[in-house]
């Protein structure tokens, strides 16, 4: 359940970008809370015990008791501060520039884990998670171009959607978003070993995407 080395991918891309982007990093395991899940019944992963607060592991074993009081405590202590900080960052960028683009970097294993709900589709080298409201065509095109040399690319498989702070979700078109899910065997020794040569190519691709986003947003598109 760890997005191994994606923090390093983001750090390399931010360092090498023409204009350094903001980096917002989750420093806690998703086994504490998952700040990118819906905290309520909208979250489909609740059916396998993996909503904002997990009660099950990735293999379906019990992680913690389904205790509503403890869930509220974890949400208040960890989920809400993360949400508030990310929401404030996006709000600050909207004030400063009139727009914000969220590129959410994740990874996933070559073989599906038992918890996954959608396992029949392709598991490409790069999965682009989109939202009809928040992912404009130019952002999707930019990602496809940037990662074109990194292997096969597919949309919303095996994971779909992208993260937008709930305050802006489906209400503010000036907040654009794209989820980047990278298959781990393309850049590390699975399940969570050292980096391989593919890491550098992916970091360069992410840098290229950031630069394209900066260029597009500066042009007011």
What angle in degrees, to the nearest 10, is found between the helix axes of 198-218 and 137-146? 150
pLDDT above 60: residue 221: no
Q: Is 107 within a domain? A: yes
Q: How many CB atoms lie within 10 A of CB 84?
A: 12
pLDDT recorded at residue 218: 80
pLDDT above 90: residue 219: no
Q: What's the CA gap between 67 and 186, in Å, rounded?
A: 39
pLDDT tens track for 153-192: 999 999 999 999 999 999 999 999 999 999 999 999 999 8
Q: What's the CA gap between 157 and 73, in Å, rounded?
A: 33
What is the Cα gyration radius of the chain?
A: 17
Q: Is 122 within a domain? A: yes
Tokens of 199: 């890491």
Q: Is 200 within a domain? A: yes
φ/ψ of residue 203, rounded to 5: -60, -40
pLDDT tens track for 34-72: 999 999 999 999 999 999 999 999 999 999 999 999 999
pLDDT tens track for 184-193: 999 999 998 9
Which CATH number does the domain housing residue 141 bear? 3.40.630.40
pLDDT recorded at residue 217: 82
Q: Omega of the bond prior to 9 within 30 degrees of 0, cis?
A: no
pLDDT recorded at residue 129: 98
Average pLDDT of span 20-44: 95
Q: Is 179 within a domain? A: yes
Q: Is 154 within a domain? A: yes
In percent, the amount of the chain with pLDDT more than 90 equals: 95
pLDDT tens track for 103-112: 999 999 999 9
Confidence bin at 150 (pLDDT 50/70/90): very high
What angle in degrees, to the nearest 10, is found between the helix axes of 6-16 and 198-218? 50
Total tally of structural domains belonging to the chain: 1
Q: What's the CA gap between 38 and 90, in Å, rounded?
A: 18
pLDDT recorded at residue 220: 59
Token pair 């979250």: residue: 43
Name the more confident of 19 and 220: 19
Domain that holds residue 10: 6-218
Q: Omega of the bond prior to 191 within 30 degrees of 0, cis?
A: yes
pLDDT above 80: residue 143: yes
Q: What's the CA gap between 120 and 56, in Å, rounded?
A: 22
């Amino acid at each position: 359940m760890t997005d191994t080395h994606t923090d390093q991918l983001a750090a390399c891309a931010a360092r090498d970008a023409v204009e350094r982007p903001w980096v917002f990093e989750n420093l806690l395991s998703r086994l504490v809370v998952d700040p990118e899940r819906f905290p309520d019944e909208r979250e489909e992963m609740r059916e396998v015990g993996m909503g904002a607060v997990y009660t099950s592991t990735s293999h379906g074993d019990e992680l913690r008791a389904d205790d509503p009081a403890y869930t509220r405590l974890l949400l208040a202590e960890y989920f809400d501060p993360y949400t508030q900080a990310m929401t404030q960052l996006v709000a600050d960028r909207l004030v400063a520039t009139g727009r914000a683009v969220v590129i959410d970097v994740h990874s996933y294993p070559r073989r599906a884990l038992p918890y996954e709900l959608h396992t029949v589709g392709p598991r490409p080298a790069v999965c682009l998670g989109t939202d009809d409201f928040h992912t404009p065509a130019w952002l999707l095109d930019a990602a496809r171009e940037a990662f074109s040399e990194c292997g096969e690319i597919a949309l919303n498989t095996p994971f779909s959607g992208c993260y937008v702070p709930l305050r802006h979700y489906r209400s503010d078109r000036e907040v654009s978003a794209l989820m980047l899910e990278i298959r781990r065997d393309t850049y590390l020794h699975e399940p969570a070993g050292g980096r391989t040569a593919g890491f550098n190519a992916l970091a360069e691709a992410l840098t290229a995407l950031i630069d394209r986003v900066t260029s597009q947003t500066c042009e007011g598109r």
